[in-house]
Structure 1
Amino acid sequence: MTDLSIRTSAFTHGEEIPEKFTKDGADVSPELTIGGAPDDAASLAVIVDDPDAPNTTFTHWTMWNLPPDTVEIPEDVPTTETVTTLGDASQGRNDFGDVGYGGPRPPEGHGPHGYRFRLIAVDEMLDLSPGAPRRELDDALAGHVMVEDRFTGTFERS
């Protein structure tokens, strides 16, 4: 059994995401603290999405093949397909059409949206090209998820 965990010092679970981490602000990724990965995990993946988006879940960030001993993802991860400072982890294309993190930007007047920050322990390194879209990541993860944890932040544009 494992106690996989993902958290941020930028805001508390269930609370509002500071503007700095949104498209209305600096649009940088928040610092993430990771713990409790299973000893036999081969890699970690991060997915940030908005299930409250109109029509479909909107993907804001995907990263995979993080080393399983990663304990922190620093604030403002470069928006590159490969992140050399994180063990050559790969980042995918978000639903804005960009590689890397794209902060919250819900439609004005749409009410608060919840943003899920998911950490997934994976039993293998994923054979997936950097820059791949979320659909390909989901396909690659199928049958390889060991355990996951998540927290949620909210954001609203009036």
Structure 2
Amino acid sequence: MRIKSLLILVMALAVALVVVVMFNEVSGGKVNVYEPNLGLGRFSIKVPIYGNGSTIPSSYACNGVNFTSSPPVIISNIPPGTKSLMVIMIDVDANMFIHWALINAPPVSLIPPNLPHSFNTSFGEQLINDFGNVGFNGPCPPSRHTYIIIVYALDSMINIKGGKYTYVQLVGMIKNHVLATALWIGYYG
């Protein structure tokens, strides 16, 4: 009898876990950052306008002069076999609000600053962010929020053209294609 009760408890916990995961993905609840192979082979990035884990400069936020200027991203130790990079900046405290999504970037060591606000650039294709604009828009939170720039090294190109996608949709498109992941954290507000 004790084993049967334990089995029922385990099954109930498994069902509860599935419901929580589905609720988070469907309802826009807080979703964890997708970071397979984080730092594999010393794959890393640096955003030189602010330190990792520090405050994003106000010039890149709200009404700052660089609010719509994408930051430079230095990329090191790109894994062999990388066909493209995906660069994304999200606000993890605002249901993974996308501030910047750059796909099909070539495997280069520098994504330069101030990419034009167009879908096609010489450093990849930019998507529509959650402000409704193509390209980058900086932070403008009501309180202190956490922002993460993530670079995914992919073994293929992403087969989409323009448009607006959620973070969960973008992650779904790259699953099973991520060779390595690197991230940079900033705060603002």
- Calculate the TM-score normalised by the size of structure 1: 0.87
Figure out how many residues of one structure are paired with residues of the other and give that number. Answer: 147
Say if 2:40 is the partner of 1:5. Answer: no
CA RMSD in angstroms, aligned pairs only: 1.4
**1:37 corresponds to which of 62, 74, 78:** 78
Contact preservation (8 Å) 2:85, 2:106 = yes
Alpha-carbon separation, structure 1, partners of 2:90 and 2:63? 17
The 5-angstrom pairing of residues 1-150 of structure 1 reads 2-26=41-65, 27=67, 28-53=69-94, 56-68=95-107, 70-84=108-122, 86=123, 89-107=124-142, 110=143, 112-134=144-166, 135-150=168-183
Task: Flag structure 1 segments of 5+ consecutive residues without an equivalent.
Answer: none
Task: Flag structure 2 segments of 5+ consecutive residues without an equivalent.
Answer: 1-39
Alpha-carbon separation, structure 1, partners of 2:53 and 2:97? 18
SS for the counterpart of 1:121 is strand
1:136 is displaced (CA, Å) by 4.0
Bigger radius of gyration among the two: 2
Higher helix fraction (1 or 2): 2
Contact preservation (8 Å) 2:129, 2:164 = no
1:79 is displaced (CA, Å) by 1.3
